[in-house]
Structure formats: C-alpha cells, structure tokens
Amino acid sequence: MATAGAEEAAAAALAEAEAATLTLEILQIIKESQQQHGLRHGDYQRYRGYCSRRLRRLRKALNFKMGNRHKYTGRKVTVELLKDPRYLLLELMSAERAWSYAMQLKQEANTEPRKRFHLVSRLRKAAKHAEALERLCEGKRIDARTKLEAQAYAAYMAGMLRFEKQDWTKAMESFGSCKTIYEKLASAFSDEQAVLYRQRVEEISPNLRYCAYNIGDQSAIGDLLQMRLKSGDSSSMLTEKLEVLLAQMRAKQSTSMSEVTWCGRTVPVKVDRVRVFLLSLEESEAAIAQAEKEEGKEQLYESLLIECRDAIHAVREELKLDPKQRERETEAGKNSNLQHLHSYLTFIKLSNTVERNVVMARALRRRLSRGAVDDGRKAPRPQELIRLYELILQSLNEMQQLPGMEADPDLWQSLDNKKSAYKAFRCYFIAQSYLAAKKWTEGLALFERVLKYAREAQAACAQSNCPNMDQNELEELINSINAEKYSIQATAILDSDDIGDRMAALEVSDNKPLIERLDVYRLDPALVSKQPNLVTFPPEFQPVPVKPLFFDLALNHVALPPLDDKLEQKSRSGFTGMIKGIFGFRS
C-alpha cells in the first residue's frame, strides 16, 4: 500500500511539473550578460566565449549531449523536452553566440572585406536559432510575456540579417514588428523591465529611419542625426553606414564651397578634402551643441579632430607639390593662400581641442565633487585636472602664435582673456593638491592668485563679451574660494595645535637631571614615568687629595761589594780535553 501511495504521489508531482508555466525573461538575460561580459567595452569576442561556456554548462546540467568525444550528433530542443526553462536558454545562448561572432567579424571587416560573407552567414544562423526559440515558445506551457519577448527577439535578429543584406523593405518590417512588441510590453509594465523595453525601442528607431531613407524618405536623415546624437553609441551596426552616407552627402555639397574668410582675409578653397571638412564643420558644431551626454560630445569632438587632421595633411601635400607659388607669394610680404588656409585649419583643430578638454575637465570636476561614482570608478585626483588645464593653455598659446593672427587683434585678445580664466582653474587645482599634502600656507597663497586671475578674466570678458566662456563658472569659483579660505585657516590652526601637542610629548633637548634644575619650573612628563631623570647615575669622577708617594733614592748611592770569587769558573777546552773525553778521563 505504501508503495502504491508513493507512486501516486510521484505521478501527481510529475503531472504538476508538466502543467507548470515556464517563464524566461529574454531581454533582461541578454542585457545583463552583455554588460557583464565584454559588450560594455565593445569586446564581442569575449562575449562570444562566454556564450560558448554557458552553453557547455547548460548541456552538462541538462544531460543534453550532442554526441560523444568521437562523433558529433546534432540534437534539437523539442516541445516534449520543455520541462525546464533552461532548454529555452539553450536556443537563446546559441543565437547570442552567433550574433556576437557576426559583430566581431563586422569589426574586423574594415580591414578584411572578405569577412563580410562570413558575417552574413553568422547572422543567418543567429536568426535561425531565434526562430527556433520562437517556435518553442508557442506551446501552452509558456507564459504570454515570454512568447512576446521571443517574437520580438526573432524579429530583431531577422531585421539585423536583412539590414546587412540591404533588403531595406523587409528589414523595416522586421524592425517595425519588433518595436511594436517592445512598446506594448513597456506600456504593460512599470518596473525596471519596462526601462529595458524602452531602451530597446530607442536602439531600433535609428535602424528604422535608415531603412526609410534608403527606401526613399529623404526627411529621415535629420532624424538619424538627432538619434545618433542622443545615443552617442559608436559601436552599433548603423554607425558605419551612417558615416558613409554623411560623407556622400558632403561630397555632393562640396562643389558649392569655394572660399573661406578668416582674420580679415578671404582665400580660395581648391582642395576637395578641405571643402568636405568645412561643410561638415557646421554640422558637427551643431551636433555637439545639441548632444546631451558628455560621452557623445567627446566622441563627436574626436571624429571632428580626425577629419581636421586629414584636411591639414591634404593642405600640406599641396604645399609640397607647388613650392614656387609659395615662394612668390611670401616674397610679396604675406603668407600664401595655402599657408593662410593651413593656419585657419590649425586654428580650428586647436580650438576644438580646447573645447574637448574643457568638456572633459567639467566632467572630472563633477566627479571630484561627488567622490566615487556609481560605476565603481575612483574619484579623480587634482593632478588630472591640472594636466588638462595645462593642455588647454598650451593650445591657446599655439593659437596666438599662428601666422595671420596679428591681423585680428580682437580674436587675439579674446584668447588672452580665456587664458586668464583657465589659469585660474589650473591654479585652483594646484592649490587643492597642496592642501591635500597639508601645506596650508602655499594653498592659501595660491587661492589669492586664483582670485586675481578670475577677477581679471571677469573684467576682461565684461568689456569684450568673450564668447564660449561660462561666466557662471568663474563666479562659482570665486565664491567657493571665499568660502574655503576660512575653512582652511581653521584647519591649519587645529593642525598646528596637534603639532604643538606632539612636540610637547617629545623628549626635550635639555637632559639635565632634576637635581641640577631645582630652581627652574618646567612640565616634564618623564618625572612621573617609571624611569624619572632625577640624578646622574653613576656619578661622574671628581679629583680628591690623596696620601703622597715616597720614593727610596738611597740605593742609587750605595757601592756593592764584588762577587767574582763566588761565581763558578768555566773549564778550558782544547785538544787535551778532547782526548780525555774519548778515553773517558774525567777530572
């Protein structure tokens, strides 16, 4: 009876397990895995290795063998096996592994174009595994949320494949259905999962607009630029295609760029690369002004500086090709057109370098005020900001020394006013580094120098209305110094009291015992210790009178009697003595 009851309980437990609903949070799993295993830094190879290891662990835990060590036997996950959500995870990790391999090949395809064929093959395999995951989730035991996420994931992988194959219409359909599903899921939840769904929608939107542009919607290019600025993501699949598209548009518009005016002089622009750069300059400046994230601004500055370096290199090549024209124009007492254009491009490069460093310095200042941030990074040191402001001042000095700057005194003066402001910030962080070393006097003296530079910059900018200078930052700097000075003075006084206490506890230089300084009052903690210095022990030697010494000098004047007759006479030796010795005669 007991055996029958146990069998019935086991059967009931098995039936209950089969009837249980399976749930798999697909988007949350892949986002956490990607962020923790390489994709935060764009390392797709590391993420691919993680997917392979996790697949191996899952197969071992589920006893889902794919053959033996001698022969591979492929097995597919079927609906009958779905007693554990880890079977769904097998298909998900297989799709992620193929997708990460495709993204790795995309990074390598910039130098090896043949890898694009392998890239498409990996994306096709990822889409196949995603479709298998969607079919498995169609069963009755899978909850509605997992079904929708599986459909959205399969549509996303299909859209990525068609996007790479440039099948814009079908790619737009796939991305559209994926976006619709995630929007519905985001509206149905109000927790952190809804945030993930909205982020996915934002990732898909630029791909949709790019597909619309290739289909024929010319208004989509503006939306693409705005989305790129907000996201600031340079590692997505769309970024490379968007850069190529912008380059093509600028090349078409470059024919209208014929001359440029700088420092009161207009010069023709005959180099095509320079024309394209000057057209992109206005777009980049507008994009930087609209960018919300500091990381996005830094990336835009970097791309702008790379284009500027290429344009400067093109002008230098032109100068090498036509040195006679350069000599003829320099003999007339002014720079040639190419030289002036080179100075103008160098000015643009240096000014954007200054602005990029200013953005980086502001970010570091905020982190320094907050201390350690949420992502675990350490708070920056004042020396890092000192280095940034030194680079800014160096760039401003180079800008003032460019040929042609003497023709525009207002521009030169505005650069000089900026130097005063950035000197104030550099001096401020030098003072902070001294204060960290408890050098209070030097820190307070540098604070006075900061106030001098900041007030000079304020006065100069009030007269000339300096552009690109944040007057509020200077005002905040002055107010913070006025507040910090009193705090530092109090800290210095407290620190000096500590030094006095430590000095009082030290051993005094006068080591006289108490018996020799009875008429002097002094606090000496050593007197109440276990070894008080009361007397000198052992006592020192002192001279004392002793009994005189008497010497016997009479012996020097006594005549002693001779003792020769008392001494033994020596025997004579010779031939006779030798004979006596042979024959044994003794005297």
Picking from 189-203, 224-238, 422-436, 535-549, which range would have the lowest pLDDT averaged per residue? 224-238
Cα gap 550→126, rounded to integer Å: 123
- Chain centre distance of CA 151: 38
Model confidence at 229: pLDDT above 50: no
> ∠136-138-144 over CA atoms, to 5°?
120
Give the single-character DSSP code of 554.
G
Instruction: Provide φ and ψ at 267, rounded to 5°.
Output: -125, 145
The pLDDT of residue 48 is 93
Taking 70 as the threshold, does the pLDDT of residue 238 lie above it? Answer: no
Chain segment 13-28, per-residue pLDDT in tens? 545 445 568 888 899 9
Q: What size, in residues, is the chain? A: 587
How far apart CA 385 and CA 358 sit, in angstroms, is 10
List the one residue out of 292, 296, 294, 304 whose CA is nearest residue 246.
304
* pLDDT band at 32; cut points 50, 70, 90: very high
- Hey, what are 297's tokens? 């601004």
**Residue range 61-116, pLDDT digits in tens:** 988 888 777 887 778 888 888 888 888 999 999 999 999 999 999 888 877 878 88
| CA separation for the pair 478, 451 (Å, rounded) | 6
**How is residue 321 written in tokens?**
């090709």
Confidence of residue 232 (pLDDT cuts 50, 70, 90): very low
Minimal CA–CA distance to 429: which of 466, 393, 375? Answer: 393
- Of 114-128, 206-220, 304-318, where does mean pLDDT reach its minimum? 206-220
Rounded Cα–Cα distance for residues 467 and 414 (Å): 8
Query: Tokens in use for 432?
Result: 């902070």
pLDDT at residue 128, as a whole number: 94
Q: Position of tokens 């030094």?
A: 499
pLDDT for 234: 43
Rounded CA-CA distance 313/290 in Å is 29
pLDDT surpassing 80 at residue 282: no
DSSP states along 296-310: HHHHHHHHHHHHHHH
What pLDDT is attached to residue 400? 87
Average pLDDT, the chain: 78
Q: Say yes or no to pLDDT of 475 above 90.
A: no
* pLDDT at residue number 155: 93
Q: What are phi and psi of 231, to 5 degrees?
A: -80, -40
Q: Which residue has the higher pLDDT, 282 or 447?
A: 447
Assigned token pair, 147: 């079904």
- Whether the pLDDT of residue 533 is over 80: the answer is yes
Query: pLDDT tens for residues 382-407?
Result: 888 889 999 999 998 998 888 888 88
Of residues 238 and 193, more confidently modeled: 193
- Cα distances (angstroms) measured from residue 36 to each of 47, 96, 192, 208, 288: 9, 14, 18, 28, 30
Phi and psi torsions of 67, nearest 5°:
115, -155
Q: What is the pLDDT of residue 235?
A: 42
Least confident of 162-166, 254-258, 390-394, 478-482: 254-258
Structure tokens at 25: 């949070």
Helix pair angle (144-164, 26-36), 10° resolution: 60
User: pLDDT band for position 325 (50/70/90)?
Assistant: low
Tokens of 347: 């000015």
Q: How far apart are CA 469 and CA 274, in angstroms?
A: 28
Residue 286 has pLDDT above 50, yes or no: yes
261-274 per-position pLDDT tens digit: 888 788 888 877 88
Between the two ends of the chain, the Cα-to-Cα distance in Å is 144
For residue 206, say if its preceding peptide bond is cis, omega within 30 degrees of 0: no
Closest CA to 90 of 79, 76, 102, 101: 76
pLDDT of residue 44: 92
Of 207-216, 250-259, 286-295, 453-462, the least confident? 250-259
User: 48 versus 511: which is more confidently predicted?
Assistant: 48
Task: Please tell me the predicted confidence (pLDDT) of residue 319.
Answer: 81
User: Does residue 119 or residue 278 have the better pLDDT?
Assistant: 119
Do the Cβ atoms of 62 and 87 come closer than 8 Å? Answer: yes
Q: What phi, psi does 78 have (nearest 5°)?
A: -110, 170
pTM over 0.75: no
Residue 258 has pLDDT above 90, yes or no: no
Per the model's pLDDT, the better-predicted residue between 506 and 298 turns out to be 298
pLDDT higher than 90, residue 51: yes
Tens of pLDDT, residue by residue over 479-522, are: 888 878 888 888 877 776 555 555 555 445 567 888 888 888 77
CB 359 within 8 A of CB 294: yes
Helix intervals (H) in 139-271: 144-164, 168-188, 192-215, 220-231, 237-253
Task: Please state, in angstroms and rounded to a whole number, the distance separating the CA atoms of residues 285 and 271.
Answer: 22
pLDDT at residue 99 in the model: 94
pLDDT at 1: 45
pLDDT given for residue 17 in this prediction: 47
pLDDT above 90 (res 471): no
Phi, psi of 265 (to 5 degrees): -135, 135
| Residue pair 513/535 in contact by the 8 Å Cβ criterion | yes
Cα separation, 249 vs 241, in Å, equals 13
For residue 342 the two structure tokens come to 């080179």
Where do we find the tokens 């490069």? 349
